[in-house]
Amino acid sequence: MVTTTDTATTGENDPAVDISLPRGLLIGGDLLTQSSGGTHGHIYPATGQVNATIPLAGATEIDQAVTAGWEAHREWMSFPPARRRELLFDVADAVRENLSQFAQLNTHDYAVPVSYAATAPLLEEFLRHFAGYVDKPHGASTPVSGSFDINLIEREPYGVVGVIAPWNGSLVVAAACVAPALAAGNAVVLKPSELAPFAAIRFGELCSEVGLPAGLVNVVPSGPDGGAALVRHPGIRKIHFTGGTATAREVLREAATNLTPVVAELGGKSADIVFDDADLDLATAISAHQGPLMQSGQSCACASRILVQSSVYDAFVEKFVATVGAANIGDPFDPAVSFGPVISESAADRILGEIDRAVSERAGELILGGNRVGSDRIGDRLAQGYYVEPTVFAAVDNASRLARTETFGPVVSVIRFETEADAVRIANDTSYGLNAFVHTTDLGRTHRVARQLEAGSVWVNHFSDISPQGPYGGYKQSGFGRTGGLEGLHEFLQVKNIRIAMR
Ligand code: NAD
């Protein structure tokens, strides 16, 4: 395993590195600092400097974590439901007590502005919500035709499940997957990306500190090798994968080894439709936040295709460019900053390459950004950080590569349309189907359009705001299965039918 400490300057003395970053593997309640998967020099993207060296899980540690998970699962299920529910509430309380630490760790993880690092409150909310399901009925009993037999339909935990998180949301994944998995009775092996391990490790520590059985939540930061070992492990009964579409194909191939079922939460190329009856100021604010600004466009829910009706096209574009252009770019630890860097040097290079390609292919007209952010704007301390300007292309052709592929950066396409039918056709003309956004004040249009959009979530006059009550997931190549809602809980339960003869 290659370590990046050899090539990057250490940032251990950087003022941004002012708290002790958790590093290690949490297995069976122990924090391991040595492992078989090598080490990784974690780079803080705002400075391009290493801020911690972390051990990575290899196949040996994955195996230990799965074994610890099975022991913990048996202990967990031996507790009365009320005790399990109270312990999950205790985890939620502990998360609440550490909200500011989690916000800091999120920022250390991937340089998301601390002003936006709001995923721990979501984690608390999901924990409380799903804790409430522990003592609720999971099954049913039904009559059977032709007899008086008792027919029970029960839902049981899988045992030990693997949860694989992308770098841009380890706590969101903890919320949307770990909380329902535990409430359903499973133990979890959570694999955060090596690019963003800290908040996930701290979450695992809290689970142990409040008294969950040792090994109920194991946290094994690693790269693709550790992820593959987890998916292939015969003791893993279900995989919940969140990440890119190409990686999902590999995960499905690996899962075929043991025919392990997989939930896949993948990427998107979401349409954001602005109709001529929309509140343009609100539509602009939502589209700017949901498009290039939030997490520098590095969100599965990025509104990367902004479809605008012809009669308001010019007015919208003017407002939109002014709003996006006014983003406060800078140090992610500064609470006034709303726009930070992208995750890595290679991501910055890839995004800038996509911008150059879109220009040379005349995919649209570049009307804002398109370059690395200069040190005149962010200062010398951040000059080696991976800052790419918020970038807007107008008059984009929906058939272009720019409009077809997930850029996963602060780059959006504005596309003009004439009629409602055109908007729906263009929005659906993509291989993805995660989110769609609609801006309108017409109730009839809201219903008509929302029902025609091929997307797992449709947000009307709203940004993407996942909640424990809302099942979230993709249509088409954005994946299958759901997080959140009863559907999200059921992903972590398997169905058993018990029939008792009554003679
Ligand atoms: P990625 O696909 O590169 O990695 C995701 C995770 O999979 C990481 O933990 C990685 O280490 C692991 N992994 C890589 N190769 C693996 C393999 N062969 N077997 C098992 N695990 C493997 O994605 P990323 O760059 O971390 O995240 C960005 C992607 O995630 C984007 O496409 C984004 O849209 C998507 N995403 C989706 C959602 C959602 O809810 N739908 C949420 C956040 C991010």
The verdict on 289 and 423 lying in the same domain is yes
The verdict on 247 and 369 lying in the same domain is no
We report the CATH number of the domain holding residue 330 as: 3.40.309.10
In a domain? residue 473: no
pLDDT at 15: 42
Nearest of 319, 326, 329, 327 to residue 282 by alpha carbon: 319
Instruction: Give the model confidence (pLDDT) of 294-334 as tens digits.
Output: 999 999 999 999 999 999 999 999 999 999 999 999 999 99
**For residues 127-160, b (16+ Cβ closer than 10 Å) or e, as one string?**
bbbbbebbeeebeeeeeeeeeeeeeeeebebbbb
The verdict on 277 and 297 lying in the same domain is yes
Mean pLDDT score, 256-267: 98
Mean pLDDT score, 276-292: 98
Instruction: Give the model confidence (pLDDT) of 448-487 as tens digits.
Output: 999 999 999 999 999 999 999 999 999 999 999 999 999 9
Look at the chain and report how many structural domains it folds into: 2
The verdict on 208 and 156 lying in the same domain is yes
Atom of ligand 1 nearest to the CA of 228: 19
Is any ligand 1 atom within 6 A of the Cβ of residue 55? no
Listed in order, strand segments (DSSP E) in 128-261 are: 140-142, 150-157, 160-164, 187-191, 217-219, 238-242
**CA atoms in the 13 A half-sphere facing the CB of 289:** 13
The verdict on 163 and 288 lying in the same domain is no
Q: Of the listed 191, 238, 269, 319, which one is catalytic?
A: 191
Q: Give percent above pLDDT 90 in the chain.
A: 94
The DSSP line for 463-499 is -----TTS-B--SGGGEES-BSHHHHHHTTEEEEEEE
Query: What is the distance, to the nearest Å, from the Cα of residue 206 to the centroid of all Cα atoms in its chain?
Result: 21
**Considering the chain, what is the average pLDDT of its residues?**
95
Mean pLDDT score, 258-283: 98
Mean pLDDT score, 241-249: 98
Q: Active site includes 319?
A: no
The verdict on 22 and 149 lying in the same domain is yes
The verdict on 294 and 428 lying in the same domain is yes
Among the residue ranges 4-13, 36-45, 117-126, 190-199, the one predicted with the least confidence is 4-13
In a domain? residue 52: yes
pLDDT at 213: 98
The verdict on 151 and 291 lying in the same domain is no
In a domain? residue 453: yes
Nearest CA to ligand 1 atom 13: 224
Domain range for 222 is 5-266+480-497
**Which amino acid does the sequence have at 133?**
Y
Nearest of 161, 143, 322 to residue 241 by alpha carbon: 161
Nearest CA to ligand 1 atom 9: 193
Most informative mutation of 163, 247, 351 for ligand 1 (most atoms within 8 A of CB): 247
How far CA 178 is from CA of 56, 126, 131, 207, 379, in Å, comes to 21, 9, 11, 11, 40
Is any ligand 1 atom within 6 A of the Cβ of residue 243? yes
Is any ligand 1 atom within 6 A of the Cβ of residue 331? no
Mean pLDDT score, 50-76: 98
CA–centroid distance, 309 to ligand 1, in Å, is 34
Mean pLDDT score, 271-279: 98
In a domain? residue 503: no
H or E element at residue 6: none
The verdict on 253 and 297 lying in the same domain is no
Query: Does residue 1 have a pLDDT over 50?
Result: no
Listed in order, strand segments (DSSP E) in 231-383 are: 238-242, 262-265, 271-274, 305-309, 365-368
Query: Does residue 223 have a pLDDT over 70?
Result: yes
Confidence category of residue 13, pLDDT binned at 50, 70, 90: very low
The verdict on 330 and 455 lying in the same domain is yes
In a domain? residue 404: yes
In a domain? residue 471: no
pLDDT at 17: 47
Nearest of 393, 389, 360 to residue 377 by alpha carbon: 389
Spatial neighbors of 381 by CB under 8 A, at least 6 apart, are 47, 331
The verdict on 32 and 50 lying in the same domain is yes
The verdict on 233 and 318 lying in the same domain is no
Query: Does residue 500 have a pLDDT over 60?
Result: yes
How far CA 269 is from CA of 65, 308, 318, 425, 433, in Å, comes to 35, 16, 23, 14, 7
Atom of ligand 1 nearest to the CA of 176: 40
Site of tokens 């056709």: 425
Query: Does residue 126 have a pLDDT over 70?
Result: yes
Q: Are 69 and 160 in contact (CB under 8 A)?
A: yes
Q: Active site includes 265?
A: yes
In a domain? residue 460: yes
CA–centroid distance, 196 to ligand 1, in Å, is 12
Q: Of the listed 61, 300, 354, 389, which one is catalytic?
A: 300
We report the CATH number of the domain holding residue 143 as: 3.40.605.10
Q: Of the listed 124, 254, 265, 354, which one is catalytic?
A: 265
Nearest of 157, 226, 245 to residue 479 by alpha carbon: 245
Confidence category of residue 281, pLDDT binned at 50, 70, 90: very high
Query: Does residue 19 have a pLDDT over 80?
Result: no
Beta bridge partners of 191: 164
Atom of ligand 1 nearest to the CA of 164: 9
CA distance 205 to 161: 19
Among the residue ranges 2-16, 209-223, 395-409, the one predicted with the least confidence is 2-16
In a domain? residue 353: yes
CA–centroid distance, 224 to ligand 1, in Å, is 9
**CA atoms in the 13 A half-sphere facing the CB of 211:** 10
Confidence category of residue 8, pLDDT binned at 50, 70, 90: very low
Q: Active site includes 406?
A: yes
Mean pLDDT score, 385-409: 98
Is any ligand 1 atom within 6 A of the Cβ of residue 304? no
